[in-house]
Amino acid sequence: MTYILSEEEQMLRDSAQAFLAEKSPVSELRRLRDEGCKDGFRHAIWKDMAEMGWNGIVIPEEYGGVDMGYTAAGIILQEMGKTLAATPFLASSILCATALRYGGTEAQKSAHLPKIAEGEKVYALAVDEKARHDAKHIETRAKKDGNGFRLSGQKRFVACGNGADMLIVAARMDDESIGLFLVDPEADGVERTLRRSVDSHAPANIDFNDVKLDGDALLSETDDGAALLDAVLYAGRACLAAEQLGVAVEAFSRTIDYIKERDQFGQKIGSFQALQHRAADLLTEVEMTESLVVKALRQLDESPSQAPFWIAAAKGRATRVSRLSASEAIQMHGGVGMTDEYEIGFFYKRAQAAGEFLGDDAWCTARVAEMSGI
Protein backbone atom coordinates (compact mmCIF):
# COMPACT_ATOMS: atom_id res chain seq x y z
CA MET A 1 0.00 0.00 0.00
CA THR A 2 1.48 3.32 -1.08
CA TYR A 3 0.71 6.81 0.18
CA ILE A 4 2.29 8.44 -2.88
CA LEU A 5 0.02 9.35 -5.77
CA SER A 6 0.61 7.44 -8.99
CA GLU A 7 1.19 9.34 -12.23
CA GLU A 8 -2.43 8.69 -13.22
CA GLU A 9 -3.67 10.00 -9.85
CA GLN A 10 -1.51 13.12 -10.12
CA MET A 11 -3.00 13.82 -13.56
CA LEU A 12 -6.49 13.40 -12.10
CA ARG A 13 -5.67 15.84 -9.28
CA ASP A 14 -4.25 18.40 -11.72
CA SER A 15 -7.26 18.21 -14.00
CA ALA A 16 -9.60 18.50 -10.99
CA GLN A 17 -7.76 21.61 -9.79
CA ALA A 18 -8.04 23.27 -13.20
CA PHE A 19 -11.68 22.31 -13.76
CA LEU A 20 -12.89 23.41 -10.32
CA ALA A 21 -10.94 26.67 -10.40
CA GLU A 22 -12.72 27.56 -13.65
CA LYS A 23 -16.18 26.03 -13.18
CA SER A 24 -16.79 25.97 -9.44
CA PRO A 25 -14.71 28.44 -7.40
CA VAL A 26 -15.97 29.65 -4.00
CA SER A 27 -17.69 32.55 -5.75
CA GLU A 28 -19.97 30.00 -7.47
CA LEU A 29 -21.22 28.79 -4.06
CA ARG A 30 -21.85 32.41 -3.07
CA ARG A 31 -23.79 32.93 -6.33
CA LEU A 32 -25.93 29.81 -5.71
CA ARG A 33 -26.71 31.09 -2.22
CA ASP A 34 -27.53 34.64 -3.29
CA GLU A 35 -29.75 33.44 -6.14
CA GLY A 36 -31.61 31.09 -3.78
CA CYS A 37 -30.98 28.15 -6.12
CA LYS A 38 -33.55 25.54 -5.02
CA ASP A 39 -31.43 22.56 -6.08
CA GLY A 40 -28.24 23.87 -4.50
CA PHE A 41 -26.08 22.99 -7.53
CA ARG A 42 -25.77 23.66 -11.26
CA HIS A 43 -26.99 20.86 -13.50
CA ALA A 44 -24.70 22.17 -16.27
CA ILE A 45 -21.63 21.58 -14.09
CA TRP A 46 -22.92 18.09 -13.24
CA LYS A 47 -23.00 17.36 -17.00
CA ASP A 48 -19.51 18.81 -17.45
CA MET A 49 -18.25 16.54 -14.66
CA ALA A 50 -19.72 13.56 -16.52
CA GLU A 51 -17.73 14.49 -19.62
CA MET A 52 -14.58 14.48 -17.45
CA GLY A 53 -15.45 10.90 -16.43
CA TRP A 54 -15.82 11.83 -12.76
CA ASN A 55 -19.45 10.81 -12.28
CA GLY A 56 -18.61 7.19 -13.05
CA ILE A 57 -15.43 7.10 -10.97
CA VAL A 58 -16.56 4.02 -8.96
CA ILE A 59 -18.88 2.59 -11.64
CA PRO A 60 -17.71 -0.43 -13.69
CA GLU A 61 -16.91 0.20 -17.34
CA GLU A 62 -19.74 -2.05 -18.57
CA TYR A 63 -22.20 0.42 -17.02
CA GLY A 64 -20.57 3.52 -18.48
CA GLY A 65 -18.09 4.29 -15.69
CA VAL A 66 -14.31 4.42 -15.49
CA ASP A 67 -13.98 2.32 -12.30
CA MET A 68 -10.93 4.10 -10.90
CA GLY A 69 -11.87 3.41 -7.28
CA TYR A 70 -12.41 5.33 -4.07
CA THR A 71 -8.87 6.70 -3.80
CA ALA A 72 -9.42 8.47 -7.11
CA ALA A 73 -12.82 9.69 -5.91
CA GLY A 74 -11.13 11.04 -2.79
CA ILE A 75 -8.63 12.98 -4.89
CA ILE A 76 -11.50 14.72 -6.68
CA LEU A 77 -13.35 15.40 -3.43
CA GLN A 78 -10.27 16.85 -1.76
CA GLU A 79 -10.05 19.36 -4.59
CA MET A 80 -13.79 20.02 -4.27
CA GLY A 81 -13.22 20.80 -0.61
CA LYS A 82 -10.67 23.45 -1.56
CA THR A 83 -13.19 25.33 -3.73
CA LEU A 84 -16.29 24.38 -1.71
CA ALA A 85 -17.84 22.96 -4.88
CA ALA A 86 -21.54 22.30 -4.38
CA THR A 87 -22.25 19.28 -6.59
CA PRO A 88 -24.19 15.96 -6.34
CA PHE A 89 -20.89 14.04 -6.61
CA LEU A 90 -20.90 12.54 -3.10
CA ALA A 91 -24.65 11.83 -3.11
CA SER A 92 -24.90 10.37 -6.62
CA SER A 93 -21.48 9.14 -7.71
CA ILE A 94 -20.39 7.71 -4.35
CA LEU A 95 -23.34 6.85 -2.10
CA CYS A 96 -25.97 5.89 -4.67
CA ALA A 97 -23.53 4.43 -7.21
CA THR A 98 -22.07 2.22 -4.46
CA ALA A 99 -25.54 1.09 -3.37
CA LEU A 100 -26.47 0.14 -6.93
CA ARG A 101 -23.11 -1.45 -7.72
CA TYR A 102 -23.17 -3.80 -4.74
CA GLY A 103 -26.92 -4.11 -4.11
CA GLY A 104 -28.56 -3.77 -7.49
CA THR A 105 -29.64 -6.59 -9.76
CA GLU A 106 -28.20 -6.73 -13.26
CA ALA A 107 -31.32 -5.01 -14.58
CA GLN A 108 -31.10 -2.26 -11.93
CA LYS A 109 -27.42 -1.63 -12.64
CA SER A 110 -28.03 -1.47 -16.39
CA ALA A 111 -30.96 0.90 -15.94
CA HIS A 112 -29.50 3.33 -13.40
CA LEU A 113 -25.69 3.36 -13.26
CA PRO A 114 -25.26 4.75 -16.82
CA LYS A 115 -27.60 7.64 -15.92
CA ILE A 116 -25.28 8.60 -13.05
CA ALA A 117 -22.11 8.16 -15.11
CA GLU A 118 -23.46 10.24 -18.00
CA GLY A 119 -24.79 12.99 -15.74
CA GLU A 120 -28.28 12.37 -17.11
CA LYS A 121 -29.87 12.06 -13.65
CA VAL A 122 -29.08 13.05 -10.06
CA TYR A 123 -29.57 10.43 -7.34
CA ALA A 124 -29.79 10.98 -3.58
CA LEU A 125 -29.59 8.57 -0.62
CA ALA A 126 -32.28 9.03 2.05
CA VAL A 127 -31.23 7.50 5.38
CA ASP A 128 -31.39 9.79 8.41
CA GLU A 129 -34.68 10.43 10.19
CA LYS A 130 -33.41 12.68 12.99
CA ALA A 131 -31.36 15.86 13.07
CA ARG A 132 -28.18 13.92 13.92
CA HIS A 133 -26.81 10.99 11.95
CA ASP A 134 -28.04 7.63 13.19
CA ALA A 135 -28.36 4.99 10.48
CA LYS A 136 -29.65 2.42 12.98
CA HIS A 137 -32.71 4.57 13.69
CA ILE A 138 -34.94 3.64 10.76
CA GLU A 139 -38.68 3.76 11.31
CA THR A 140 -39.66 4.26 7.67
CA ARG A 141 -41.68 1.19 6.71
CA ALA A 142 -41.91 -0.77 3.47
CA LYS A 143 -44.88 -3.10 3.83
CA LYS A 144 -45.38 -5.92 1.39
CA ASP A 145 -48.33 -5.23 -0.93
CA GLY A 146 -48.96 -7.96 -3.49
CA ASN A 147 -45.87 -8.09 -5.70
CA GLY A 148 -44.75 -4.66 -4.53
CA PHE A 149 -44.50 -2.50 -1.42
CA ARG A 150 -46.12 0.46 0.33
CA LEU A 151 -43.62 2.97 1.69
CA SER A 152 -44.39 5.29 4.62
CA GLY A 153 -42.11 7.41 6.77
CA GLN A 154 -39.97 10.52 6.93
CA LYS A 155 -36.36 11.31 6.04
CA ARG A 156 -34.48 14.39 7.17
CA PHE A 157 -31.70 16.48 5.62
CA VAL A 158 -31.32 14.34 2.49
CA ALA A 159 -28.22 15.69 0.70
CA CYS A 160 -29.18 16.97 -2.78
CA GLY A 161 -32.67 15.65 -2.06
CA ASN A 162 -34.41 18.69 -3.45
CA GLY A 163 -32.75 18.45 -6.86
CA ALA A 164 -32.64 14.67 -7.15
CA ASP A 165 -34.31 12.81 -10.03
CA MET A 166 -34.28 9.51 -8.14
CA LEU A 167 -34.05 8.52 -4.47
CA ILE A 168 -32.61 5.44 -2.80
CA VAL A 169 -34.50 5.10 0.48
CA ALA A 170 -33.58 2.95 3.48
CA ALA A 171 -36.66 1.35 5.05
CA ARG A 172 -37.53 -1.35 7.54
CA MET A 173 -39.39 -4.31 6.06
CA ASP A 174 -42.04 -6.63 7.52
CA ASP A 175 -39.43 -8.96 9.04
CA GLU A 176 -37.57 -5.93 10.57
CA SER A 177 -34.68 -6.28 8.12
CA ILE A 178 -33.44 -3.22 6.19
CA GLY A 179 -34.09 -2.74 2.49
CA LEU A 180 -32.95 -0.07 0.04
CA PHE A 181 -35.64 1.06 -2.41
CA LEU A 182 -35.52 3.08 -5.63
CA VAL A 183 -38.19 5.77 -5.35
CA ASP A 184 -39.27 8.35 -7.91
CA PRO A 185 -39.49 11.67 -6.01
CA GLU A 186 -42.38 12.70 -8.31
CA ALA A 187 -44.47 9.64 -7.37
CA ASP A 188 -47.81 10.07 -5.61
CA GLY A 189 -47.32 10.34 -1.86
CA VAL A 190 -43.80 11.79 -1.95
CA GLU A 191 -43.48 15.31 -0.57
CA ARG A 192 -40.19 17.24 -0.53
CA THR A 193 -39.50 20.27 1.63
CA LEU A 194 -36.44 22.38 0.87
CA ARG A 195 -34.11 23.07 3.80
CA ARG A 196 -31.14 25.43 3.90
CA SER A 197 -28.07 24.30 5.79
CA VAL A 198 -25.49 26.62 7.33
CA ASP A 199 -23.06 25.94 4.45
CA SER A 200 -25.61 27.22 1.86
CA HIS A 201 -26.37 23.72 0.58
CA ALA A 202 -29.94 22.65 -0.16
CA PRO A 203 -30.90 19.33 1.47
CA ALA A 204 -34.52 18.28 1.73
CA ASN A 205 -36.87 16.75 4.24
CA ILE A 206 -38.88 14.08 2.45
CA ASP A 207 -42.18 12.53 3.56
CA PHE A 208 -43.42 9.24 2.12
CA ASN A 209 -47.13 8.79 2.53
CA ASP A 210 -48.21 5.28 1.52
CA VAL A 211 -46.13 5.42 -1.67
CA LYS A 212 -46.79 2.48 -3.97
CA LEU A 213 -43.63 0.73 -5.22
CA ASP A 214 -43.18 -2.09 -7.70
CA GLY A 215 -41.38 -5.22 -6.56
CA ASP A 216 -38.29 -4.34 -8.62
CA ALA A 217 -37.81 -1.12 -6.62
CA LEU A 218 -35.96 -3.14 -3.97
CA LEU A 219 -32.19 -3.45 -4.39
CA SER A 220 -32.16 -7.20 -3.98
CA GLU A 221 -28.81 -8.50 -5.17
CA THR A 222 -27.89 -9.08 -1.53
CA ASP A 223 -29.93 -10.68 1.26
CA ASP A 224 -28.40 -8.43 3.93
CA GLY A 225 -29.69 -4.90 3.36
CA ALA A 226 -28.24 -3.65 6.64
CA ALA A 227 -24.73 -4.75 5.62
CA LEU A 228 -25.18 -3.12 2.22
CA LEU A 229 -26.27 0.16 3.82
CA ASP A 230 -23.31 -0.01 6.19
CA ALA A 231 -20.88 -0.50 3.28
CA VAL A 232 -22.44 2.40 1.38
CA LEU A 233 -22.17 4.74 4.36
CA TYR A 234 -18.55 3.80 5.06
CA ALA A 235 -17.66 4.52 1.43
CA GLY A 236 -19.39 7.87 1.81
CA ARG A 237 -17.52 8.66 5.03
CA ALA A 238 -14.13 7.89 3.48
CA CYS A 239 -14.83 10.20 0.55
CA LEU A 240 -16.36 12.91 2.74
CA ALA A 241 -13.23 12.81 4.92
CA ALA A 242 -11.23 13.63 1.78
CA GLU A 243 -13.46 16.64 1.12
CA GLN A 244 -13.06 17.77 4.74
CA LEU A 245 -9.30 17.45 4.33
CA GLY A 246 -9.54 19.76 1.32
CA VAL A 247 -11.42 22.30 3.43
CA ALA A 248 -8.73 22.13 6.12
CA VAL A 249 -5.86 22.45 3.62
CA GLU A 250 -7.36 25.44 1.84
CA ALA A 251 -8.33 27.26 5.06
CA PHE A 252 -4.77 26.77 6.31
CA SER A 253 -3.22 27.91 3.02
CA ARG A 254 -5.33 31.08 2.87
CA THR A 255 -4.46 31.87 6.48
CA ILE A 256 -0.73 31.56 5.87
CA ASP A 257 -1.03 33.83 2.83
CA TYR A 258 -2.95 36.36 4.92
CA ILE A 259 -0.58 36.57 7.88
CA LYS A 260 2.35 36.93 5.49
CA GLU A 261 0.72 40.04 3.99
CA ARG A 262 -1.12 41.67 6.92
CA ASP A 263 0.75 44.52 8.61
CA GLN A 264 0.29 45.35 12.29
CA PHE A 265 2.51 47.42 14.59
CA GLY A 266 4.79 48.11 11.66
CA GLN A 267 5.50 44.51 10.69
CA LYS A 268 3.90 41.45 9.12
CA ILE A 269 1.78 39.59 11.69
CA GLY A 270 3.25 36.34 10.39
CA SER A 271 6.49 37.36 12.11
CA PHE A 272 4.85 37.04 15.54
CA GLN A 273 6.05 33.91 17.27
CA ALA A 274 2.65 33.14 18.79
CA LEU A 275 1.06 32.92 15.33
CA GLN A 276 4.00 30.92 13.97
CA HIS A 277 3.53 28.31 16.72
CA ARG A 278 -0.19 28.05 16.03
CA ALA A 279 0.47 27.68 12.29
CA ALA A 280 3.09 24.99 12.89
CA ASP A 281 0.73 23.02 15.14
CA LEU A 282 -2.02 23.27 12.55
CA LEU A 283 0.27 22.13 9.72
CA THR A 284 1.14 19.02 11.74
CA GLU A 285 -2.54 18.26 12.34
CA VAL A 286 -3.40 18.69 8.65
CA GLU A 287 -0.56 16.47 7.41
CA MET A 288 -1.39 13.69 9.89
CA THR A 289 -4.99 13.85 8.74
CA GLU A 290 -3.92 13.54 5.11
CA SER A 291 -2.00 10.34 5.87
CA LEU A 292 -5.01 8.86 7.65
CA VAL A 293 -7.45 9.79 4.87
CA VAL A 294 -5.20 8.24 2.20
CA LYS A 295 -4.85 5.11 4.33
CA ALA A 296 -8.65 4.80 4.64
CA LEU A 297 -9.24 5.26 0.91
CA ARG A 298 -6.52 2.79 -0.08
CA GLN A 299 -7.92 0.24 2.38
CA LEU A 300 -11.36 0.67 0.85
CA ASP A 301 -9.96 -0.12 -2.59
CA GLU A 302 -7.54 -2.88 -1.63
CA SER A 303 -8.87 -4.52 1.58
CA PRO A 304 -12.48 -3.38 2.07
CA SER A 305 -13.13 -5.75 4.98
CA GLN A 306 -10.41 -3.93 6.95
CA ALA A 307 -11.52 -0.45 5.90
CA PRO A 308 -14.26 0.51 8.46
CA PHE A 309 -11.77 1.02 11.31
CA TRP A 310 -9.55 3.33 9.24
CA ILE A 311 -12.53 5.13 7.72
CA ALA A 312 -14.05 5.89 11.11
CA ALA A 313 -10.67 7.15 12.33
CA ALA A 314 -10.18 9.28 9.20
CA LYS A 315 -13.70 10.76 9.23
CA GLY A 316 -13.44 11.58 12.94
CA ARG A 317 -10.05 13.22 12.59
CA ALA A 318 -10.99 15.07 9.38
CA THR A 319 -14.05 16.45 11.16
CA ARG A 320 -12.02 17.72 14.10
CA VAL A 321 -9.13 19.12 12.04
CA SER A 322 -11.28 20.81 9.37
CA ARG A 323 -13.19 22.60 12.12
CA LEU A 324 -9.93 23.52 13.87
CA SER A 325 -8.32 24.80 10.66
CA ALA A 326 -11.35 26.89 9.73
CA SER A 327 -11.80 28.35 13.23
CA GLU A 328 -8.08 29.16 13.49
CA ALA A 329 -8.36 30.82 10.08
CA ILE A 330 -11.08 33.15 11.32
CA GLN A 331 -9.11 33.91 14.49
CA MET A 332 -5.95 34.79 12.57
CA HIS A 333 -7.86 36.84 10.02
CA GLY A 334 -9.18 38.91 12.91
CA GLY A 335 -12.39 40.89 12.50
CA VAL A 336 -12.53 40.61 8.71
CA GLY A 337 -12.73 36.84 9.03
CA MET A 338 -16.24 37.28 10.44
CA THR A 339 -17.50 39.25 7.45
CA ASP A 340 -19.44 37.78 4.54
CA GLU A 341 -17.19 39.69 2.15
CA TYR A 342 -14.24 37.40 3.00
CA GLU A 343 -14.55 33.82 1.76
CA ILE A 344 -12.84 32.28 4.78
CA GLY A 345 -16.14 32.14 6.66
CA PHE A 346 -17.57 29.83 3.98
CA PHE A 347 -14.91 27.25 4.88
CA TYR A 348 -15.89 27.44 8.56
CA LYS A 349 -19.54 26.81 7.69
CA ARG A 350 -18.75 23.88 5.38
CA ALA A 351 -16.49 22.35 8.05
CA GLN A 352 -19.38 22.47 10.53
CA ALA A 353 -21.97 20.97 8.15
CA ALA A 354 -19.72 18.27 6.68
CA GLY A 355 -18.67 17.32 10.19
CA GLU A 356 -22.25 16.41 11.09
CA PHE A 357 -23.03 14.53 7.86
CA LEU A 358 -22.63 10.72 8.10
CA GLY A 359 -21.34 10.96 11.69
CA ASP A 360 -19.41 13.59 13.63
CA ASP A 361 -16.09 13.15 15.43
CA ALA A 362 -17.75 11.83 18.62
CA TRP A 363 -19.72 9.25 16.62
CA CYS A 364 -16.60 8.15 14.73
CA THR A 365 -14.52 7.95 17.90
CA ALA A 366 -17.15 5.66 19.43
CA ARG A 367 -16.96 3.39 16.34
CA VAL A 368 -13.14 3.24 16.58
CA ALA A 369 -13.40 2.32 20.26
CA GLU A 370 -16.05 -0.29 19.51
CA MET A 371 -13.99 -1.90 16.72
CA SER A 372 -10.92 -1.83 18.98
CA GLY A 373 -12.80 -3.80 21.62
CA ILE A 374 -12.67 -0.96 24.15
Backbone angles phi, psi at 277, to 5 degrees: -65, -40
Per-residue pLDDT of the chain (374 residues; tens, 9 = 90+): 666 788 999 999 999 999 999 999 999 999 999 999 999 999 999 999 999 999 999 999 999 999 999 999 999 999 999 999 999 999 999 999 999 999 999 999 999 999 999 999 999 999 999 988 999 999 999 999 999 999 999 999 999 999 999 999 999 999 999 999 999 999 999 999 999 999 999 999 999 999 999 999 999 888 899 999 999 999 999 999 999 999 999 999 999 999 999 988 889 999 999 999 999 999 999 999 999 999 999 999 999 999 999 999 999 999 999 999 999 999 999 888 889 999 999 999 999 999 999 999 999 999 999 999 88
**Rg (Cα) of the chain, in Å, rounded?**
21
DSSP 200: S
- Residues written for the chain: 374
pLDDT on residue 181: 98
- AA letter at 194: L
CB 336 within 8 A of CB 263: no
pLDDT on residue 179: 97
Half-sphere exposure for 371 (CA within 13 Å, toward CB): 15
Task: Give the DSSP letter string of 115-127.
Answer: HHHTTS--EEEE-
- The two most distant CA atoms of the chain are separated, in Å, by 79
Least Cα distance to 124 among 232, 34, 37, 196 occurs for 232
Number of H helices, E strands in the chain: 11, 9
Q: Which residues contact 122 (CB under 8 A, 6 or more apart)?
A: 43, 46, 88, 91, 92, 160, 163, 164, 165, 166
Task: Give the DSSP letter string of 212-260.
Answer: EE-GGGB--SSS-HHHHHHHHHHHHHHHHHHHHHHHHHHHHHHHHHHHH
- The 10s digit of each residue's pLDDT in 206-262 is 999 999 999 999 998 888 999 999 999 999 999 999 999 999 999 999 999 999 999
The pTM score is 0.96
- In order of 225, 357, 362, 367, the CA distances from 313 in angstroms are 24, 15, 11, 8
Using CA atoms, how far apart are residues 255 and 233, in angstroms rounded to an integer?
32
Strand partners, 124: 167
Helix (H) or strand (E) run with residue 101 in it: helix 97-103
CB 276 within 8 A of CB 270: yes
